[in-house]
Structure 1
Amino acid sequence: MDVKTLYTLVAIADRGSFAEAGNAIGLTISAVSMQMRSLEEELGITIFDRSRRPPVLTDAGLAFTSRARDLLTHWESMSAALKREAAGGVLKLGSVHTCVSGVLPLALKRLHQQGHRIDIHLTTGLTHDLERAVYRRQLDVAVVTEPEVPRLDLQFMPFFNEEFVVITHATTRGDSDKGILETTPYVR
C-alpha cells in the first residue's frame, strides 16, 4: 500500500465512480481498478461492492476510507512541515552599504513573513569585494551596484533601479544637476 493508492481510494469515495476518480487524478479506469483490487488483496477485505454499477464502498470500505483520510491529513501536514524545514537554513548574504539601510530590510522582512526560516549572515562591503566573495563561495548571494565590467563567471540579475540626485546647499547656483556639477569645484 502506498500514499497514491490511498489518494485514489479517497478520490473514488468523493467522486462516486472509478471513471470520475481516474479523470480527476490522471489515471485510466483500469489503472484505478487495479489499484483498488491490489489494495483489497493486501488488506484482505472487500472495499467495494462490484455487483453494483458503479461499484460502491462496503461498510469495511467506508471505515477504511475514513482512516485513509485521517492518514492523508497527517501525511500532508508532515510533508508541509518537512518542506518548511527544508526551506530554512543559513543564507550568507552580502550587500553594499546603501541597500542595508534601504530596500534590504524590507525584502528580508517579507521573506520572514512568508514563513521562510532562514538565518541570515550579513556582510557589507564594496561591489568588487562582494563579487569576489561570491566567486570564492564565501557568500551565497550579494546585492551590489552594477559593476562596470561584470564577471563572466558570475550571474548578474538586475532587480532594482535607484535614482541618484544631486543635493547641494540652497545658495549653490545652477539650472540642472549637470550644470551644478560642472560649475562647482567639488574636488580641491
Structure 2
Amino acid sequence: MDIRFLESFVTVADCGSIAEAARRLNLTPAALAQRLRSLEQDLGQALVTRVGRTVRPTASGLAVLAHARGLIEGARDLRAIAANDEPAGQLRLGATATSLTGLLPEIIARLNARFPKIEYFVRPSSSVELYHGVLAGELDAAVIVQPQFPVPKSAGWLVLRDEPLLLIAPEGMALDDPHAVIAQHPFIRYDRNQWGGQIVDRYLRQHALKVREWLELDALEAIAALVSRGLGVAILPDWAPPWPAGLRLAKKLLPAGERRQVGVLWSRSGPRAPAVQAFVDICADCAREDRTP
C-alpha cells in the first residue's frame, strides 16, 4: 500500500471535497481521484461517497480512517528512525499568528538549507492550545508565549524574544501621559483568555487603570488596524515584525510593565528528536542574533 494514497484519503475526509483536498496536496482532482480508486481497489471496499457537493467517508472509510492517521504517523517516524540520528522526517510545528510571520519563516529557511531531508507541518493556533499540543505529543515543538507556570521536565523551553508592552494610539495623538490616554479613550483589549492578554490585564490592575473597554480581540494585527483607523487605543506587546503595512500609529513604550516572552517549547523525546534538536539549535542561533546590538 502506498502511504501517499492513504494520506490522500485522510485529506479528502478532512476537507469533505476532492477539489479542496487536491489543492492542499498540490494535485489535480483527477490525479487525486485516481489515488482514491487505487486505494479502494487495494482494500476491496468503497471508502468515500458523494452527498450533494460534498464527499464523505463510507462506513468502511470511517473504519479505515480510525487507523489511517496512526499508520501515516508511523510511516513518517520510520523515515526519521532510518535516518540514523540525521535530522530527517516530518517535523510537526505550531506557531502563534505573530510568530508565524515574524519568527518562523527565517527559522525554517535556515533549517531547510542545512537539513533538506526534514519535512514540515505547521499548525497555527493560540499559545494555550499549542502548549497542550506539544505535551500531548500532537506537535514536536511550538513557538508560543511563555506560560506563567513551570513547563514539565518532559519538555524544553527556550526564550526567543523579550517583548515590552506598548501603548498604541492613532497617529498624531499625544502620548506624554500614557495612563491618561488609556483612561480617556475607548480601549481595545487584548483577549484575557490569551497568555499575552493576561499580561496586559495585570498591567491595568497593577496601575489601577479603569478603561472604557468596548472590544476584546485575540488578533494583535486586527487590534492595531482598528487603532490605526481611530477607533480607540490599546496596549500590545512589541511583537516581531513585520507589522501590517500602512498602519498610522503613535507608539509609547510602557517601561514599568511586565514583558511578554516568546519562545520555543519542544518535546525532549521521540523518534524525531534529532530533527527537533536541529530546530531548537536554529532557534537559539536566531535568538542570539536578535539580541546582538
For normalisation by structure 1, the TM-score amounts to 0.49
Q: Which has the higher helix share?
A: 1
Q: Which has the higher strand share?
A: 2
